[in-house]
């Protein structure tokens, strides 16, 4: 085991042979660290300056490392992976405890295998490949932000501007491939995609770049994402400008390599500046701080090169390692190395690698690196559980003139915003209150209008459009016999929409179908998925299973399934006066007339002489009164308050019913009506009659799968004449009871066939649209054009041209009789019935109270003569006129008073045995004279 030169410090004791032994912990005078950069690159140049400045600042700071000095050795990889590996091995021979770099992700992949074996932490501020963070490379520590976050920011920009597809241009190495793989995932999460990948081989010449960009120029997507290195990136932009790809309509988005070129290179060639105009790029967001300002002032005295974010991350990397080493020593770590037994060959010797050793404290140092929390020139430096730096954020930059303009920010926590990320993070409500996400951008071609993001491919290929070859209802789509020309309502709508597009769309119609029967539109749509057609135009209903195959435009006409059946005209007839009400409503109305009459009789019987008499007379009076209220001709006066309330309420009900009856009867006698035994889809489902449908349409599957109608009841029909014949024959003669089809077909069918009509309501809602492949931008533009046709009235004009027929429009026929049903008056009858019940209840309570007060005495001869019990006595009491009850009660009270007076005289000894009073006047005479 080797130990570096060191100072001696006491740290802890070991027990050996049961005796304590004091062990001296060493803190070395010098700690060796290495770095691998590419000196000939602009990033390598500024990184070298920043690393050396950071080492100098650390060594001059007495508060760090306790007088231990860092010794940095930097090797030039010269863009060579082999040299990088050799230099990494050389560093291991010098007892280096950490390695900084390499500059590229490709080299980082290779060197990570070396440091994993020798347990030496590898810190990189430039290797941004997301896959380097995997568990495969435990000793790799990224001290900048992964490309994963750059790609998330680009995906948010693409979504913000409502683009759906991009073309990825990248260097075909680990850095490029893995970065674009992350972009693919991020775009997929936004329902966007990479439509074409354009890899460029490493060390590509301008001719190689030109060949790749020529292929890109023929693609329909005009949103180009460039992920490469700073050295090759400018060449790509210059070749793109040479090919005319920096004009109107193009969008160029680059990762942070372009902002690095702009920051470092103060004087760029004129052609390079011209090639950058309108490009959007990203730059790591670094807020202002005292540490940053101090380093910026120091930088200006060190070099004339511009300050890049890579310089700041390099500076912080040294300070991060220094703090980790300080904690490493404080926790008892020491610099020691041991042989790697895995490096010996099968003969027991070493593979000439005996100078390589494992850093014994590598795991502890790695742990301390990941535990560091500090404020650096780039802001807070801290690692998450997956070894990523906290708070990834970027500036969104628009290159203009010789400089750039910041149009917004992006952070992992707040997404796109015009507010700096640290402000948004401190108060996320600021973002929700801001409707503007990015400031305006000047795009290539010096335009502020947002590019559409795609054009029709310029490779001379015509758009193949499938059109159904219909044999019926040719007003919608028709192939002119002997030509390849198509016409009809759907064709006119499509051509009018294409004419509104701001670009040319070359296309050609292709017939789909055998010409003997209507083709299946579902099969037509599926042929787009199979690549047979680029689009489908025709009478194509937008239904669920078709939307799974393709994207549809905005519906250009409404549709839905309806039922058509034969109808007959209804004339007034002998019994037309009964037709306004249903039988149930007639019955309930009659019952209420009788019920109300009975209630009024009960309430008026004891006090109103008009409701008294013989039973026959009372029945006649009640019935007469009840039905006379229909004409408001009743003559009986109401004496009771409850009776008046019930009468007023009933007269209101009668008014409503009679008015409704009059209106309905007037309609029946004056408006022509149509009637059909089929009332809609519900009655059709309940019957067992055959049902017709258009052959090869989706109607059959809908009736079977959604409504559960038996397949044996369904009869396919092809032509309108077949519809007419089957409906006329009816179920009894081999025809159908009704036909179910889409409304546009049925309306056209009925325009010249007045003996049929749509019955019931439309029971599905959909529309017709044009089908395009998934995520086709043309579908969106055609939808916009269809909306314009609707707004300017052109869509209605096309409809009237092809589909308006007037043969039946003047007859004013209306299907079925709008008979009034019981449910229309349920509320009235309920209120009236409830009022009658409450009135009877109140009346019963009052009668019972009166009965207890004025009930007849069972000892009276007239009462004893009744062969009755108490119930019959109560009934007799109720039937008795109220005046008689009151008079009898008064008489009983007087007699009770006489008896009480007679008893009083007898007790006092003054009662006459001859029936005279003490005054000589007969007692009955005195009682009669009393009031």
pLDDT at residue number 671? 57
Question: Which pLDDT belongs to residue 130?
Answer: 93
| Structure token pair of residue 594 | 């009788």
Q: Are residues 269 and 194 in the same domain?
A: yes
Establish if 496 belongs to a structural domain.
yes
User: Is position 779 within any domain?
Assistant: no
Domain stop point among 645, 670, 695: 670
Mean pLDDT for 220-235 is 92
pLDDT on residue 520: 93
pLDDT tens digits for range 288-322: 999 999 999 999 999 999 999 999 999 999 999 99
Strand partners, 380: 375
Strand blocks (E) in 80-161: 98-100, 122-124, 140-142
Q: Nearest-5° angle of CA 252, CA 255, CA 256? A: 125
Residues 272, 167 within the same domain:
yes
pLDDT digits (tens, 9 = 90+) for 652-665: 888 888 888 888 77
Structural domain contains residue 733: yes
Average pLDDT for 221-228: 95
User: Given this model, what pLDDT does residue 649 score?
Assistant: 85
Give the residue carrying structure tokens 């007269």.
Answer: 651
Percent of the chain clearing pLDDT 70 (strictly above): 80
What is each CA distance from 151 to 154, 278, 318, 461, 504, in whole angstroms? 5, 20, 27, 33, 33
Question: Is residue 918 included in any domain, yes or no?
Answer: no
Provide the pLDDT for residue 877: 64
Task: Assess contact for 115 and 356: CB atoms under 8 A.
Answer: no
Token pair in block for residue 406: 């910041």
Q: Is the pLDDT of residue 856 over 90?
A: no
- The answer on pLDDT for 24 being more than 60 is no
Tokens of 94: 């010098």
Cβ pair 221, 195 in contact under 8 A: yes
Phi first, then psi: give them for residue 845, nearest 5 degrees: -65, -45
Task: Report the number of secondary-structure helices (H) and strands (E) in the chain.
Answer: 31, 37
Residues 174 and 314 both lie in one domain: no
Residues 271 and 314 in one domain: no
pLDDT at 773: 93
Looking at residue 466, its pLDDT comes to 96
Which of 878, 876, 849, 879 is closest to 862 using CA atoms?
876
Question: How confident is the model at residue 373, as a pLDDT?
Answer: 95
Q: 113 with 137, same domain? A: yes
Q: Give the model's pLDDT for residue 624.
A: 78
Per-residue pLDDT tens for 712-729? 999 999 999 999 999 999
Q: What are the distances in angstroms from CA 350 to CA 152, 343, 353, 751?
A: 47, 6, 6, 97
> In this predicted structure, what is the pLDDT of residue 915?
43
Residue pLDDT, tens place only, 419-458: 998 776 545 444 444 456 899 999 999 999 999 888 876 5
Q: What is the mean pLDDT of residues 787-792?
A: 94
Q: Which helix (H) or strand (E) holds 489?
A: helix 489-499
Among 740, 827, 196, 770, smallest CA distance to 525 is for: 770
How far apart CA 198 and CA 228 sit, in angstroms, is 12
Burial of residue 514, with CB atoms counted within 10 A of its CB: 0-12 exposed, 13-18 middle, 19 or more buried: exposed
Which is nearest to 756 in space by CA: 571, 568, 570? 568
Residue 897 in any domain: the answer is: no
DSSP state of 488: S
> Which pLDDT score, from 0 to 100, does residue 492 have?
96
408 Rama class: left (phi>0) / alpha (psi -120 to 50) / beta? left
Q: How much is the pLDDT for 628? A: 79
| pLDDT > 70? residue 706 | yes
pTM: 0.66
Question: Looking at residue 925, what is its pLDDT?
Answer: 38
Q: What is the pLDDT of residue 350?
A: 43
Convert the pLDDT of each residue in 339-371 to its tens digit. 877 765 544 444 455 567 889 999 999 999 999
Q: What is the CATH number of the domain that holds 249?
A: 3.40.50.2300
Mark whether 229 and 126 lie in a shared domain: no
| pLDDT value of position 460 | 55
Distance CA 678, CA 698 (A): 22
CATH number at residue 759: 3.40.190.10
Contact assessment for residue 454 and residue 165, using Cβ atoms and an 8 Å cutoff: yes
Question: Within this chain, do residues 175 and 267 fall inside the same structural domain, yes or no?
Answer: yes
pLDDT of residue 76: 83
**In the 8-state DSSP scheme, what is residue 920?**
S
Express each pLDDT in 54-98 by its tens digit: 999 999 998 899 889 999 999 887 766 676 677 667 776 677 899
- pLDDT above 50: residue 852: yes
Domain annotation covers residue 631:
yes
Supply the pLDDT for residue 872.
67
Residues 655 and 597 in one domain: yes
Task: Report the pLDDT averaged over residues 524-548.
Answer: 94
Last residue of some domain: 711, 742, 765?
765
Q: Is 646:839 a contact under the CB 8 Å cutoff?
A: yes
C-alpha closest to that of 717 among 740, 683, 751, 748: 740
419 lies in the same domain as 304: no
Question: Is the pLDDT at 863 greater than 60, yes or no?
Answer: no
Question: What is the number of structural domains in the chain?
Answer: 5
pLDDT higher than 50, residue 924: no
- Among 765, 786, 805, where does a domain finish? 765
For 41, half-sphere exposure in the C-beta direction (CA atoms, 13 angstrom radius) is 24
List the one residue out of 256, 191, 204, 265 whose CA is nearest residue 235.
204
710 lies in which domain range?
A: 564-568+675-765
**Residue 8: per-residue pLDDT:** 39
Kindly indicate the confidence band of residue 581, based on its pLDDT and cuts at 50, 70 and 90: confident
Same domain, residue pair 200 and 234: yes
User: What does the alpha-carbon distance between residue 615 and residue 608 come to, in Å, rounded to a whole number?
Assistant: 15
Average pLDDT taken over every residue of the chain: 83
Residue 848 lies in a domain: no
Instruction: Determine how many CB atoms are found less than 10 A away from the CB of residue 295.
Output: 24
> Kind of pairing, strands 98-100 and 30-37?
parallel
Say which DSSP state 730 is in.
T
| Same domain (yes/no): 688, 758 | yes
In a domain, 922, yes or no: no
Could you tell me if 163 and 233 lie in one domain? yes
Kindly give, in sequence order, each residue whose CB lies less than 8 Å from that of residue 859, ignoring residues fewer than 6 positions away: none
pLDDT score, position 809: 44
């Amino acid at each position: 085991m080797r130990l570096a030169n060191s100072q001696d410090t006491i740290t802890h004791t070991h027990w050996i042979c049961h005796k304590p032994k004091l062990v001296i912990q060493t803190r070395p005078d010098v700690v060796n660290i290495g770095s691998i950069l590419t000196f000939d690159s602009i990033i390598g140049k500024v990184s070298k300056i920043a690393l050396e400045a950071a080492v100098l600042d650390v060594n001059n700071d007495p508060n760090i490392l306790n007088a231990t000095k860092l010794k940095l050795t930097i090797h030039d990889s010269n863009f060579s992976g082999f040299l990088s590996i050799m230099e990494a091995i050389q560093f291991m021979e010098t007892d280096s405890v950490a390695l900084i770099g390499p500059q590229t992700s490709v080299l980082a992949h290779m060197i990570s295998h070396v440091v994993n074996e020798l347990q030496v932490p590898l810190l990189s501020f430039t290797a941004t490949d997301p896959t380097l963070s995997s568990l495969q490379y435990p000793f790799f520590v990224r001290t900048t932000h992964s490309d994963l976050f750059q790609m998330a920011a680009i995906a948010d920009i693409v979504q913000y501007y409502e683009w759906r597809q991009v073309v990825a241009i990248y260097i075909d190495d680990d850095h490029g491939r893995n970065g674009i793989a992350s972009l693919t995932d991020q775009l997929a999460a936004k329902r966007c995609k990479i439509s074409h990948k354009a890899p460029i081989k490493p060390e590509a010449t301008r001719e190689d770049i030109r060949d790749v960009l020529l292929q890109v120029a023929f693609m329909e997507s005009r949103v180009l994402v460039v992920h490469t290195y700073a050295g090759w990136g400018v060449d790509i932009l210059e070749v793109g400008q040479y090919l005319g790809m920096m004009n109107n309509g193009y969008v160029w988005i680059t990762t942070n390599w372009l902002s690095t070129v702009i920051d470092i290179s103060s004087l760029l060639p004129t052609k390079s500046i011209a090639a950058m105009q309108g490009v959007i790029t990203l730059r790591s967001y670094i807020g202002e701080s005292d540490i940053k300002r101090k380093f910026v002032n120091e930088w200006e005295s060190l070099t004339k090169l511009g300050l890049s974010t890579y310089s700041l991350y390099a500076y912080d990397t040294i300070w991060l390692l220094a703090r980790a080493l300080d904690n490493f020593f404080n926790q008892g770590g020491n610099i020691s190395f041991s042989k790697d037994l895995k490096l010996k060959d099968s003969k027991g010797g070493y593979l000439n690698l005996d100078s390589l050793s494992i850093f014994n404290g590598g795991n502890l140092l790695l742990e301390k690196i990941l535990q560091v929390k500090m404020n650096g020139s780039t802001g807070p430096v801290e690692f998450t559980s997956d070894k990523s730096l906290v708070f990834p954020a970027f500036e969104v930059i628009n290159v203009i003139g010789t400089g750039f303009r910041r149009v917004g920010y992006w952070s992992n926590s707040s997404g796109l915003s015009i507010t700096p990320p640290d402000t948004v993070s401190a108060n996320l409500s600021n973002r929700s209150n801001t409707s503007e996400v990015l400031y305006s951008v000047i795009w290539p071609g010096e335009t502020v209008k947002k590019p559409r993001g795609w054009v029709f491919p310029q490779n001379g290929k015509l758009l193949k459009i499938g059109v159904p070859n219909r044999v019926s209802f040719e007003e919608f789509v028709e192939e002119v016999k002997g030509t390849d020309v198509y016409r009809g309502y759907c064709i006119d709508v499509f051509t009018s929409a294409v004419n509104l597009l701001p670009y040319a769309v070359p296309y050609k119609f292709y017939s789909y179908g055998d010409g003997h029967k209507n083709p299946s539109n579902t099969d037509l749509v599926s042929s787009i998925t199979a690549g047979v057609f680029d689009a489908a135009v025709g009478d194509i209903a937008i239904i669920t299973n078709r939307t799974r195959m393709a994207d549809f435009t905005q519906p250009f006409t409404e549709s839905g399934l309806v039922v058509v059946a034969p109808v007959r005209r209804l004339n007034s007839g002998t019994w037309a006066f009964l037709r306004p009400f249903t039988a149930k409503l007639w019955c309930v109305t009659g019952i209420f007339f009788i019920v109300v009459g009975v209630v009024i009789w009960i309430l008026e019987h004891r006090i109103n002489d008009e409701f008294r008499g013989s039973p026959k007379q009372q029945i006649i009076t009640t019935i007469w009164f009840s039905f006379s209220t229909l004409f408001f001709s009743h003559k009986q006066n109401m004496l009771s308050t409850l009776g008046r309330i019930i009468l007023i309420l009933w007269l209101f009900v009668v008014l409503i019913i009679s008015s409704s009856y009059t209106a309905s009867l007037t309609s029946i006698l004056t408006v022509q009506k149509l009637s059909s035994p089929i009332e809609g889809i519900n009655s059709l489902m309940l019957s067992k009659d055959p049902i017709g449908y258009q052959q090869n349409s989706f109607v059959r599957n809908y009736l079977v799968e959604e409504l559960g109608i038996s397949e044996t009841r369904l009869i396919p029909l092809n032509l309108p004449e077949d519809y007419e014949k089957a409906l006329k024959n009816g179920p009894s003669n081999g025809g159908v009871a009704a036909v179910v089809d889409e409304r546009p077909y049925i309306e056209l069918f009925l325009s010249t066939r007045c003996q049929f009509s749509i019955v019931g309501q439309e029971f599905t809602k959909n529309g017709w649209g044009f089908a395009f492949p998934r995520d086709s931008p043309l579908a969106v533009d055609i939808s916009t054009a269809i909306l314009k046709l609707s707004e300017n009235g052109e869509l209605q004009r096309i409809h009237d041209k092809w589909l308006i027929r007037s043969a039946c429009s003047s007859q004013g026929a209306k299907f079925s009789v709008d008979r009034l049903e019981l449910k229309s008056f349920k509320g009235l009858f309920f209120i009236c019935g409830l009022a009658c019940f409450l009135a009877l209840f109140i009346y019963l309570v009052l009668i019972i109270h009166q009965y207890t007060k004025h009930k007849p005495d069972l000892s009276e001869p007239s009462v004893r003569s009744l062969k009755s019990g108490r119930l019959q006595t109560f009934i007799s009491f109720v039937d008795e006129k109220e005046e008689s009850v009151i008079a009898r009660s008064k008489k009983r009270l007087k007699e009770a008073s006489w008896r009480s007076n007679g008893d009083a005289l007898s007790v006092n000894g003054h009662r006459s045995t001859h029936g005279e009073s003490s005054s000589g006047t007969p007692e009955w005479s005195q009682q009669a004279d009393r009031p």
